[in-house]
Structure 1
Amino acid sequence: MTLLPRMRAADLLPVATIGLRTRPARTALSVLGVAIGIAALVAVLGITRSSQSDLLARIDRLGTNLLTVTSGQSPSGQERPLPSTAAGGVSLTAGILASAPTAELAGVTVRRTDRIPSVLSNGLAVRAADASLLPVLDGHLTHGTFFTDVTSRYAITVLGHAAAERLGVEDLSGDPRVFIGGYWYTVIGILAPLDFAPEVDRSALIGFAAAVADFGHDGTASRIYVRAQQERTAEVATMLARAANPEQPRDVTVSRPSDALTTRLDVADSGTFLFLGLGAVALLVGGVGIANVMVISVLERRAEIGLRRALGAGRRHVAGQFLVESLLLAACGGAAGVLLGAAATYSLSMQRGWQPLVPPAAVGLALAAACVVGAVAGLYPAVRAARLTPTDALRTA
């Protein structure tokens, strides 16, 4: 009776790791190839998820019920004034919680001193506003206070975050002043960054009464911020144009600032697919490297294969040995890649102030992908080794 050759599962792992243990440099390079591809996949998914989580948190914090009403820009890039009745019409619209009119003052610049030429505006604007602006924008101050209905008539200003940085006003020590138009204005507050109102970030805010008294402003608004009831935001948006300009509603633009952040989410998603493709290419290159290493290993170990076959090892035993060796290379590369990708995600997230998130599904898929690549890469070398007959292997060794 012929006995079928057998090999215990416990013996398969030590036999399969002979090549890995005897050639550590080659093993490390093979593992590195897969690790780079897996790290790219995990890092892209982790960084994208962390970034999206931060954007979604900002949208939730600031709300999606903020709307802006404008009338476009002039050829010089400044906001066109809305009709004098626009602010009142908007505030009376059904579904409105609050509104805040503002007006960009054409031809009025803000400078740190009167020694700086007026043409050097540094991209900053002067904007008239009232006390309702801060609560409507859900804004906060890093220093000082916001003006009230009483103090807005005086020569005082509140600087947007970007405006304060460009003017070199870091705090309110020493009662800093800035030169607005031809007048000195005392800075009483500095705003925190406003994600939904970048135009306010780049402005020096003064009261409407001061704008009328010092610069002859007619009191009309050029941009109105509106907080709508959350469930009626879309409905309110359709009514604001006619409320602001009943005669020419087409001249009015109503926008939702949160859409800009939502667009960034869409852009991030499209970029994710691109980088995932690049990571997949890197993983494929790593798989080709494993296949190449395994083919060379089969050629170098023909004598070993022939000897094992002559001593009774079956084809499936030889094939299993090289297939397990390939899987181990890929699995080690996958594990190293997951650690590298997670480290990259945490490093960048901490640098940007995001909450680091590495999706568990990404880790599982990355490890599964590494194992699949290892199995496919090791299949041909394993089959080739199994097909060697003892006589051919020993004769050509």
Structure 2
Amino acid sequence: MKPVRLGPVDLLLLGLIGVRTRPMRAVLSALGISIGIATMIVVVGIPASSRQALDNELSTLGTNLLRAEAMVDPLTQTLPPVPESAAAMTTRIGPVEMAGAVANTHSTVRRSDRIPATEDSGLTVLAAQSGLLPVIGAKLGSGTFLNQATGSFPAAVLGDKAATRLGITELRPGEPNPQVWIGDQWFVVVGILDAIPLAPDVERAVLVGWEAARTRLGFDGHPTVVFLRAQEAAIESVRSVLAATVYAENPAKIQISRPSDALAAKRITETTFSGLFLGLAGVALLVGGVGVANTMVISVLERKREIGLRRALGGNRRQVRGQFLAESVALCLLGGIAGTFLGVLGTAGYAVSRDWPPVIPATAVLSGVGAALLIGVLAGVYPAIRASRLTPTEALAAP
């Protein structure tokens, strides 16, 4: 009689016998595969979510912002005297849509005049032009911004991080506005800004009016940073002439940067260890594969009588090889599916905790399952061949 052919479903059911009868061993064997696959998906998914969040953030904030900053002369340790009209001059460049400037007043700010001058807050006091907010994409969390009226009086607007450091995080309607001690006089806080990703230096600063800084803080009127928005298509052209426009006497003393590039670079540095974690995922997969192979070899030794009985009842070597190979593949595949689920869950949880859109690349999921399948085949080849080489008499005679 010809031996009965075993279909794929039959082989799968035979392969699951060892998994069902020894569940704890199966779980421990598949654990390494699960950890490796989960790590692989997390390492790929988190950077993908981060990039998507960055793309969404930049599309909202805009990538058409340029920053021209006056650099300190290394010999004289002084800033170049950038003209007060520098921001206005940049608007004469055709593609420029709006511009605004800030200047370091070199004043100190403290929460109270009772705090010693040697223990200032470490925050910068910037003179700001009234049209700065839309240029840098800033929004008010509470209060109002400096205008033509308040810009001449001792009024201040706090950046997001400056407000936290000073302990003034909101302005309550109907209550007196808090005050801060700038230089040697009180300034009333009239507004608090939300976070400004494209202008972190403004986040850490206390802003005062241009005229108030001139009359009350001894400000010389020379801007230190000029921000501008230009048409996206012409941003590089504007960048090439911006330094000469801001300070024609010596353009080399003006540093031009694009804040969105700095934000993107910062986000990239947060995922620099992705390669290391991928390596660790590979090690986990290797260890898991060795563990599965070891489990299958032990399974062959323990089930010699079963193999001998199957051979005696007409099962051929190919069927025995198929049974143990299917068991190895099923074991790794279950570990791969569990690892994929954990990886997707971990990536989604981390992305949600950071307010990022969860992005799970389909290639990562398919690669994880495919890797588990390949490891199952490689780990099961030797035990399957070893099992098929047992003769019925040798297997049935095993203790």
TM-score range, shorter chain: over 0.9
Q: TM (normalized to structure 1)?
A: 0.94
The residue that corresponds to 1:58 in the other structure is 57
The residue that corresponds to 1:312 in the other structure is 314
Matches of 1:302 and 1:94, distance apart in 2: 85
SS of residue in 1 equivalent to 2:273: helix
SS of residue in 2 equivalent to 1:123: coil
Do structure 1's residue 302 and structure 2's residue 304 form an aligned pair? Answer: yes
Matches of 2:311 and 2:258, distance apart in 1: 74
Matches of 1:223 and 1:79, distance apart in 2: 15
User: Could you list the runs of 5+ residues in structure 2 that have no partner in the other structure?
Assistant: none
The residue that corresponds to 1:48 in the other structure is 47
Higher deviation after alignment, 292-301 or 5-14? 5-14
User: Could you list the runs of 5+ residues in structure 1 that have no partner in the other structure?
Assistant: none
The residue that corresponds to 1:98 in the other structure is 98
Provide, for residues 145-183 of structure 1, a one-character-per-residue CA deviation record: whole Å limited to 9, x for no partner.
111122210111110000000000021133111111111
Change (3 A) 1:242 1:363: same
SS of residue in 1 equivalent to 2:339: helix
Change (3 A) 1:269 1:161: closer
Task: Please list, as runs of the form range in 1=range in 2, the aligned pairs for 1:164-203 lying within 5 A after superposition.
Answer: 164-173=163-172, 174-203=176-205
SS of residue in 1 equivalent to 2:117: coil
Conservation of the 8 A alpha-carbon contact between 1:81 and 1:221: no
Change (3 A) 1:165 1:73: farther
Q: How far did residue 11 of structure 1 move?
A: 3.2
The residue that corresponds to 1:245 in the other structure is 247
Matches of 1:8 and 1:90, distance apart in 2: 77
Conservation of the 8 A alpha-carbon contact between 2:80 and 2:253: no
Q: Aligned partner of 1:89: which letter?
A: M
Higher deviation after alignment, 155-164 or 302-311? 302-311
Q: Aligned partner of 1:383: which letter?
A: I
Match of 1:226 among 217, 225, 228: 228
Match of 1:355 among 342, 354, 357: 357
Conservation of the 8 A alpha-carbon contact between 1:241 and 1:249: yes
The residue that corresponds to 1:209 in the other structure is 211
Higher deviation after alignment, 112-121 or 131-140? 112-121
Matches of 1:378 and 1:9, distance apart in 2: 16
The residue that corresponds to 1:345 in the other structure is 347
Matches of 1:147 and 1:41, distance apart in 2: 50
The residue that corresponds to 2:115 in the other structure is 116
Conservation of the 8 A alpha-carbon contact between 1:160 and 1:193: yes
Provide, for residues 208-259 of structure 1, a one-character-per-residue CA deviation record: whole Å limited to 9, x for no partner.
1001110221211000111111110111111111111222111110000111
Change (3 A) 1:295 1:217: same
- Paired residues in the alignment total 393
Conservation of the 8 A alpha-carbon contact between 2:3 and 2:315: no
Conservation of the 8 A alpha-carbon contact between 1:82 and 1:244: no
Q: TM (normalized to structure 2)?
A: 0.93
Change (3 A) 1:155 1:225: same
| Identity value in percent | 45
Change (3 A) 1:40 1:82: farther
Matches of 2:65 and 2:24, distance apart in 1: 60
